[in-house]
Amino acid sequence: MDKKISTLIKFAVVVVIAAVLLGNCYYTITEQEAAVVTTFGKATAATDSGLHLKIPFIQHVDKVDTTIKGFPIGYTEDTNMSVEDESLMITSDFNFVNVDFYVEYKVTDPIKALYASQDPVEVLKNVAQSSIRSEIGAFSVDSVITTGKNEIQSNIRERINSRLEQQDIGIQLINITIQDAEPPTSEVKEAFMNVESAKQGADTAVNNANKYRSEQVPAAQARIDQILKEADATKEARINEAEGQVARFNSLFDEYKKYPLITKQRMFYETMEEIMPDLTVIIDNSESGVQKILPLDSLVDVIAGEDGNMNGGEQ
């Protein structure tokens, strides 16, 4: 009986040892993880996702999350309450401003993330806070609150990446964004809101002016083109008229050179016709050699009037 119990105990111990050994012979890594395998405390390999084998009690596996994570600066993520020690900063024009940031990062080297520093995320946070304060201190309060946010974010990102490359702690900055920026007092905040409203009004006025210009400039250009076309047409008409007059003058001059006297007389008569188109003129060349221009129509009208009066009186 004692032998059977002793055998059962030994068998149970063997089963337990085998189970323990079997459970320590493999490990599983998901797609969002990376594993660092250490042999006698020394990191020997970093494996990707899947099922892997290891030597029990000799090799140890540490899993590292490789997904994108983040943390706030200037406020608490759970309650969204302001952390003044982190958010309150001074600008280049010696004004105070509250600025909140959100930092996103991921592990790029699992071995360095585990062993290059005690807490790489805390190192990143300290680097981010230092870079933020340095950059905010280089801008005016107006730029921080209104127009300079994109430039500030870009400069801070470059500062942090440069520091992380120097320290080489196995994590990478993905992005850093300004969540909020406002003056520390309600009065100053209201003043900056008024400034922002004025700037938006100015932008609206500029946009309206540009719209009006875009509408009026094509219409003015079309009017200019029309005027130029009309001017060209007038120019061509006057040139053609002048060329016609020159041709007529040359023709008349040629005739004048052939028959000067006749040409002068014809020109005189044509001119008189143009000056007095309704006057009937009879040219009388008497024997005395003097031309007489007689406006006979007016005399005829007078005679006709007298005849009418006489006939009326006889009746």
- Distance, CA of 214 to CA of 61 (rounded, Å): 68
* 83 & 161 share domain: yes
Predicted confidence (pLDDT) at residue 132 exceeds the cutoff of 90 = yes
| Mean pLDDT (whole number) for 27-50 | 81
Q: Residues 179-218: pLDDT tens digits?
A: 998 887 665 666 666 776 787 888 888 988 888 888 888 8
End-to-end CA gap in the chain:
188
* 96 & 145 share domain: yes
List the single range of 1-15, 32-46, 62-76, 234-248 with lowest mean pLDDT.
Answer: 1-15
Backbone angles phi, psi at 107, to 5 degrees: -80, 125
* 101 & 176 share domain: yes
Q: Which of 105, 27, 26, 38 is nearest to 65 (CA)?
A: 105
Q: Which of 63, 70, 2, 6 is nearest to 33 (CA)?
A: 63
pLDDT value at residue 315: 39
Confidence of residue 282 (pLDDT cuts 50, 70, 90): low
List the single range of 14-23, 221-230, 275-284 with lowest mean pLDDT.
Answer: 14-23
List the single range of 133-137, 168-172, 239-243, 296-300 with lowest mean pLDDT.
Answer: 296-300
- Distance, CA of 151 to CA of 51 (rounded, Å): 46
Highest mean pLDDT pick, 130-144, 173-187, 188-202, 276-290: 130-144
Eight-state DSSP code of residue 67: S
Instruction: Look up the domain containing 11 and give its range.
Output: 2-65
* 180 & 199 share domain: no
Where residue 74 falls (left for φ over 0; alpha for ψ -120 to 50; beta otherwise) is left
List the single range of 5-19, 37-51, 177-191, 230-244 with lowest mean pLDDT.
Answer: 5-19
> Which residues, other chains included, contact 132 with Cβ-Cβ below 8 Å and sequence gap of 6+?
73, 89, 99, 101, 156
108 CB-side CA count, 13 A: 10
| CATH (domain of 176) | 3.30.479.30
Predicted confidence (pLDDT) at residue 25 exceeds the cutoff of 60 = yes
pLDDT value at residue 14: 53
* 287 & 266 share domain: no
Predicted confidence (pLDDT) at residue 271 exceeds the cutoff of 80 = no
Predicted confidence (pLDDT) at residue 34 exceeds the cutoff of 50 = yes
